[in-house]
Structure 1
Amino acid sequence: MSRRYYSLATLRSIVAAWDERKRFRWELEQMSKDNPHLIDDIGLTRRQVEAEIAKPFWRR
């Protein structure tokens, strides 16, 4: 079994991406609750929004 080794800069980049996804999904969830009409404006369906919100932060 091979192991992957990451530099500190790479790890910081990964954590930053996770944080960005978490924040985006939280904001999307708030938008869908507070202003559901805006979801239509950005071209997403309710089902797409629910699928995106349900993803764990480490998944794209």
Structure 2
Amino acid sequence: MEPADVSRRRYSLATLRSMIATWRERTRYRWELKRMAKDNPHLIDDIGLTRLQVEEEIAKLPFWQR
């Protein structure tokens, strides 16, 4: 394996890790929105979102997590 192949692989692994971290962060955010909408719906206005925006974001969770 040549050095260029190795650096390309590392970059790909770094990119993959970054993508997974982003997905996890978005999932946590959507779970928090879901919890907030259920427990403290008045806080939705405080963070500058509409109820429709929150519902659209929650809808992006996989169906088994909604």
TM-score of the two chains, using structure 1 as the length reference: 0.79
Residue number in structure 2 paired with 1:55: 60
Q: Between the two proteins, what is the percent identity of the paired residues?
A: 74
More contact order relative to length (CA 8 Å, sep ≥ 6): 1
Shift of 1:9: 0.6
Kindly name which structure, 1 or 2, has the bigger radius of gyration based on alpha carbons: 2
Task: Give the number of equivalent residue pairs.
Answer: 53
Q: Distance between the aligned counterparts of 1:24 and 1:8, measured in 2?
A: 24
TM-score between both structures, scaled by the size of structure 2? 0.72
Q: What is the alpha-carbon root mean square deviation over aligned residues?
A: 1.8
Give the 4+ runs in structure 1 shifted more than 3 A: none
The unaligned stretches of length 5 or more in structure 1 are none
